[in-house]
Amino acid sequence: MEPHEHPPLPPAVPPVTRRDFLFKLGLGLNVIAAGFVGIPIVGYIASALFKPKAQQAWIALGEIAQFPPGETRLASYRNPFTTPWDGATADIPCWVRRKPDGDFQVFAINCAHLGCPVRWFPQSGLFMCPCHGGVYYEDGSRASGPPPRGLFEYAFRVRRDRLEVRGGQTPNLSEPV
């Protein structure tokens, strides 16, 4: 290069046109929008795949002498899968039916329709739901009204004269446990 010559100019940067700018802006906004829509969908699918199994455990309900043959009585247990600050909501009521032959049936208190607590009426030998008039026979089977099935039943066992139920998660139509 001769001493009087200028160094070569760097190649010119092409100007950003309005069209390019808007295209890139639109692309960026679409990526952000896809993130907002996609993250909850991925979370939903992941939670369905890794959903824990229903939490159930054997829980003592009381001495079997508390439940005379031929009677249905209200009992309750403390849900072991709750936290200390759940307070009284962790006390789960259930109906214990002791048949005349000494065998048991333990019913969840929540109606199989929309979950209202059912009540036992010994005079009529029926469980009745105060919300929409669902009625169940003493063995828990559906008698009338909107419930699509009978009462949910807990598994139970007798250990050292104590009645235990397999409780924890509240039974419902999708998971009758």
By C-alpha distance, which of 1, 40, 167 is closest to 92? 167
- Our CB check for ligand FES shows the closer of 96 and 111 to be 111
Contact set for ligand FES, span 14-53 (CB under 6 A): none
Examine residue 116 and tell whether it contacts ligand FES (CB under 6 A). yes
Examine residue 126 and tell whether it contacts ligand FES (CB under 6 A). no
Task: Tell me how long the chain is.
Answer: 177
Examine residue 117 and tell whether it contacts ligand FES (CB under 6 A). no
Q: Which stretch binds ligand FES (CB under 6 A): 14-22, 64-72, 139-147, 155-163?
A: 139-147
CB atoms within 10 A of CB 62: 15
DSSP 45: H
Residue 125 Cβ vs ligand FES, minimum distance, rounded to whole Å: 18
Interface with ligand FES: number of residues (CB under 6 A): 13
- Our CB check for ligand FES shows the closer of 61 and 134 to be 134
Contact criterion met (CB below 8 Å) for 92 and 76: yes
In this chain, which of 147, 167, 168, 171 binds ligand FES, going by CB under 6 A? 147
Q: Which stretch binds ligand FES (CB under 6 A): 36-44, 71-79, 92-100, 114-122?
A: 114-122
Contact criterion met (CB below 8 Å) for 59 and 167: yes
Longest dimension (CA), the chain: 119
First CA to last CA across the chain, in angstroms? Answer: 89
Distance, in Å, from the CA atom of 37 to the CA atom of 138, rounded to the nearest integer, reads 50
- Our CB check for ligand FES shows the closer of 147 and 168 to be 147
Contact criterion met (CB below 8 Å) for 74 and 95: yes
Examine residue 114 and tell whether it contacts ligand FES (CB under 6 A). yes
Residues within the interface to ligand FES (CB under 6 A): 111, 113-116, 129, 131-134, 145-147
